[in-house]
């Protein structure tokens, strides 16, 4: 798991371990390219995260495109885009499109909201209510990568994106109780199947 100096590391590490994952936290972003699975935690600003990733960007992208499963949460999902209105540094670029500021009266969205999705990562989850805390959203050019959406005021937010082995959630599963743990458990199973 990437430690870029701002992420919600402890909660996510604890939740993933509860779901059976063996988690190693690293500040050296180059280590991620050799990991069996990559996790980008939530919380942080786009440029700060990308500055920490720095020169490891290309090797991380190659690893993911080569089959390494990857989970990005909140800002960890947003950095998968080409860039963001929040900053000026380029993103990782796995997802074609940009991150935009939410066009709603109340920003940020903070609290529980429903995800609409048929994705297998939600298998076994009775209530698709998850915890959100964000002011920006990803806006992919290819709508087929959007696997879950959430309605907030009059805006439809991509709350789950998938491309190859990359999974990005705008919500915080590690803060979403039983539903979040089941989502993470389903991701761990997905990651194991990729190995």
What pLDDT, on the 0 to 100 scale, is given for residue 118?
97
Task: Say how many Å lie between the first and final Cα of the chain, rounded.
Answer: 17
> How many percent of the chain have pLDDT more than 70?
99
Residue 146: other Cβ atoms inside 10 A? 20
Q: 92 pLDDT exceeds 70?
A: yes
For the stretch 125-171, pLDDT in tens is 999 999 999 999 999 999 999 999 999 999 999 999 999 999 999 99
Active site residue 74: yes
For the stretch 39-67, pLDDT in tens is 999 888 999 999 999 999 999 999 999 99
Q: Which of 19, 70, 74, 134 is catalytic?
A: 74
Spatial separation of the C-alpha atoms in residues 17 and 24, rounded to whole Å: 10
Nearest residue to 77 via CA among 101, 90, 95, 56: 95
Q: Which of 19, 86, 134, 172 is catalytic?
A: 172
Active site residue 134: no
Residue ranges and CATH numbers for the domains of the chain are: 9-194 (3.40.50.880)
Active site residue 10: no
Q: 36 pLDDT exceeds 70?
A: yes
pTM of the entire predicted model: 0.96
Tell me how many helices (H) and strands (E) the chain has. 5, 10
Res. 4 pLDDT band, cuts 50 70 90: confident
What pLDDT, on the 0 to 100 scale, is given for residue 6?
67
Spatial separation of the C-alpha atoms in residues 105 and 48, rounded to whole Å: 26
Spatial separation of the C-alpha atoms in residues 82 and 76, rounded to whole Å: 13
Q: Which of 174, 189, 192, 194 is catalytic?
A: 174
Res. 182 pLDDT band, cuts 50 70 90: very high
CB 109 within 8 A of CB 133: yes
């Amino acid at each position: 798991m990437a430690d870029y100096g701002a992420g919600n590391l402890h909660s996510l590490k604890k939740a993933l371990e509860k779901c059976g994952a063996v988690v190693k936290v690293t500040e050296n972003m180059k280590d991620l390219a050799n990991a069996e699975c990559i996790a980008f935690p939530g919380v942080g600003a786009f440029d700060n995260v990308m500055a920490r990733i720095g020169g490891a960007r290309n090797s991380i992208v190659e690893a993911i495109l080569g089959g390494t499963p990857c989970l990005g949460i909140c800002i960890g999902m947003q950095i998968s885009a080409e860039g963001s209105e929040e900053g000026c540094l380029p993103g990782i670029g796995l997802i074609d499109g940009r991150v935009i500021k939410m066009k709603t009266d109340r920003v940020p969205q903070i609290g529980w909201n429903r995800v609409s999705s048929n994705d297998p990562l939600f298998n076994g989850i009775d209530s698709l209510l998850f915890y959100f805390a964000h002011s920006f959203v990803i806006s992919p050019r290819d709508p087929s990568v959007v696997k879950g959406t959430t309605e907030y005021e009059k805006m439809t937010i991509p709350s789950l994106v998938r491309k190859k082995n990359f999974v990005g959630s705008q919500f915080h599963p590690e803060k979403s109780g039983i539903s979040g743990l089941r989502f993470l458990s389903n991701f761990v199973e997905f990651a194991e199947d990729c190995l």
